[in-house]
Structures are given as structure tokens and as C-alpha cells.
Structure 1
């Protein structure tokens, strides 16, 4: 083979390789377009993910709030359903506080004695419990005392039962099917006043997020 022929073959080979490289590779414009498309798809996907997380958080918060409201109403229902005609002594003196007391003149919304206070540790105490409910800073607090007939030093245990409460109102139905806004009923002076129980209690709670909720609870006994 002559030197000229070899040179021609080498030139043709370089041209062929150059054409194959041009076909197999990407230009800078193509790479930039691909990166731009990927960025758009990633942004859309991230937006969808963030929205999914947001909706999940909203759903979880709603479920948590529902459980909180249900738990509070169940606690009220248990306390009223197990109401006992057991008055307690005043912290100072020998006068008595009714088994159920609800009066706008008092700091607490209501105060009552209920049965069924569980005692898994077997502590020597009564299964009756004295509890009260009051509003403080838009929170419904439930308080209870370790002893029924407490002293001046007997501070109650307190727990937030429900948050976001704008107001709470109570009505009590007596044996004649009449409603009263306080208990014992205003002007009631019979000897059994300290042990008197209503036959039903209507609870109205206005929440910041849910609005007004009404519950009617039957009092056993």
C-alpha cells in the first residue's frame, strides 16, 4: 500500500469517528434544556409534597382536637352520671357545701361529689371524689381534692381539660321537670337541700373553633 493511500484511509477514519462522536454526544443547549425541564418537574413535585404534608398536618390537628373535645365531654358525663348525695364540710368551720353546687357568685362553675374514683394502688381513702370545674384564660380546668372534707391547707390537683373555651353554661332539671341556672335551686330551703340532685344537666360549651356544643346528661339515682 502506498503512502498516499494510507494517508487517505487515515483521513477517512478520522472523519467517520468525528461523525459518530457528533451523533452520540449532547450539545450544551440540549443539556441546559434537560436541566431546565428537570428543575420544573422537581419544583412541581416538591410543591405537591409540601401540600400533602400540610393537609396531613391539618388532618392530624383536627383529629387531635376531636379527641380532646370528646375526652372532655366524656369526663363531664362520667362525673355527673356518678353524682353522689354526699355534701362536704367547709374548709373553715362546721357548715356544709352541697353535694352539687353551681352558683355564678363562686369562682368555680360547679363543684360536686362523685363515686367511682379508682384506687389501683390500694391507698386507704374513699372512692368518692370531690371535683370542681372552672374557666381560666380560655381553658376549662378540672380540679379534685385528695380528701372530701378538706382543710384550709388542702390544695386541689388541677389539670387542663379543654382549651379554647369561650364560655360554659349549665342548667339543671329538678324532679318537676323545671330548669334552673343554679343548684341547689334559688330559694330551695328543704332539709334535703345539701343532698339534692337534679335528674338531668344541660351543658353548653362555646369553643373558639367549633362554636357552640350542647350536651344533655342524665343523672343516675
Structure 2
């Protein structure tokens, strides 16, 4: 018994152990914070991508259901079935308007047509879709506005008039349109702060409805 010595940890050893565990804790916290931040960025990016997909599907649906029906701009009656030009409808870039079919009205329960007047414009960095309950809106009508995309730097719309022209030639596309027939195709170019330049071309149905 007299030859045995009871040894414990010295103060220095305890301080070194505490320091090591503290460093491990700090490193673990940093890694966890980085993972959480990365996850938030990925989630935010995914949400923006979903918003972009919904916006492009909305534009595609509207254009593919466009019909040769006169569209009224600010309630003014005319024979033009699609109108598009810079600053149309107070757009800060291009704007265009037309009439689409396929607006659901099951069993005609609502007192409105299945046709709908729609328009697109850019204001305050937002791509907006304008629409109303009635296809022929009167003077003074204030359209309903739905924001499709934010952080938009530019919005351009071009129109292909002749199917025989080479669609790859930029000169075959017009920057403005106001005629009593639908164009052969519509090209939409969106410049986004989040995704850069996005361009889609939509082949229009030119058959009379």
C-alpha cells in the first residue's frame, strides 16, 4: 500500500483538454453553419427556378391558345388581334397584348366568355401579366396584375411575319406588331439578374377559330 501513488490530472492537462474540445466544438459549429447556409442558398435557388418555370409555362399556355380576335388596348376598339411594341401598356421595356381561348368556365356557370384578353409588360424590374374578366374591356378599365418574375432587367418581344423566312435571321423578326392576323411565331427574351438571358420561341396557330 505504501508503494502505490494515486495520480490525477494536473491543472495544465485539464486546460489542454478543455482547449481541444473547444476547438473541436468551434470547428463543428463552423461546418454546420456552412452546411445550413448552403442548404438555404440551394432552397432559395430552387424556389426561383420553380418561379421561372411557372412563368414560362404561363407565357407558353397563353401564346399557344392565342386566337385571331381583336384585342382592345385601353378600351379602344380596333381590328388588331395582337399588338406589341416598346412601352406598350406603360411597360418600361416591350409589351404585348392578345386574346387567348381556353379560359375555363365549367358549364358556363360564370357570366363571362371562355376568351380572355391578356397582356405582358415590365415595370419596376417585374414581369407582369395583365388580365380581366371580360374580353372586351371598356375605357377606364383597370386590369388585374399578376407578377410572374422579379429582378428582371429587360423584356423583349419579337414577331415573325413570314413562314418562308429564315427564322435564324435576326432581320426576319419585327420588334413591333399590330395586324389583324396572328404572327407566325413570337420570340420572348427575358434578361434576369438571377438567370441571365432566357429566350423562347413560340410557333403560333394561324388557323381561324
Aligned to 2:168: none
CA 1:104–1:140 in 2, change beyond 3 Å: closer, same or farther? Answer: same
Deviation at 1:91, TM superposition (A): 5.2
Deviation at 1:209, TM superposition (A): 2.8
Alignment coverage as a number of residue pairs? 194
Gaps of 5+ in 1: 1-12, 185-192
Aligned to 2:33: 50
CA 1:54–1:77 in 2, change beyond 3 Å: closer, same or farther? Answer: same
In 2, the alpha carbon distance for the partners of 1:202 and 1:91 equals 24
User: Secondary structure of the equivalent of 1:96?
Assistant: coil
Deviation >6 Å, runs of 4+: none
Aligned to 1:144: 131
The C-alpha deviation readout for 1:103-159, integer Å capped at 9, x for no partner, is: 225224011111111235931211111111111111111110111111234321111
In 2, the alpha carbon distance for the partners of 1:92 and 1:199 equals 26
Equivalent residue in structure 2 for 1:156, among 138, 143, 156: 143
Bigger Cα displacement from structure 2, 203-212 vs 132-141: 203-212
TM-score (norm 2): 0.84
Gaps of 5+ in 2: 166-171
Root-mean-square deviation over aligned CA pairs:
2.2
- Is the contact between residue 171 and residue 203 of structure 1 (CA under 8 Å) also seen in structure 2? yes
Aligned to 2:174: 180
- Is the contact between residue 132 and residue 144 of structure 1 (CA under 8 Å) also seen in structure 2? yes
Deviation at 1:26, TM superposition (A): 2.3
Aligned to 1:207: 192
User: Secondary structure of the equivalent of 1:50?
Assistant: helix
Equivalent residue in structure 2 for 1:96, among 78, 85, 101: 78
The C-alpha deviation readout for 1:50-71, integer Å capped at 9, x for no partner, is: 1111111111111111111111
CA 1:91–1:179 in 2, change beyond 3 Å: closer, same or farther? Answer: closer
In the alignment, does 2:113 pair up with 1:126?
yes
TM-score (norm 1): 0.79
CA 1:145–1:92 in 2, change beyond 3 Å: closer, same or farther? Answer: closer
Matches within 5 A, 1:64-79: 64-79=47-62
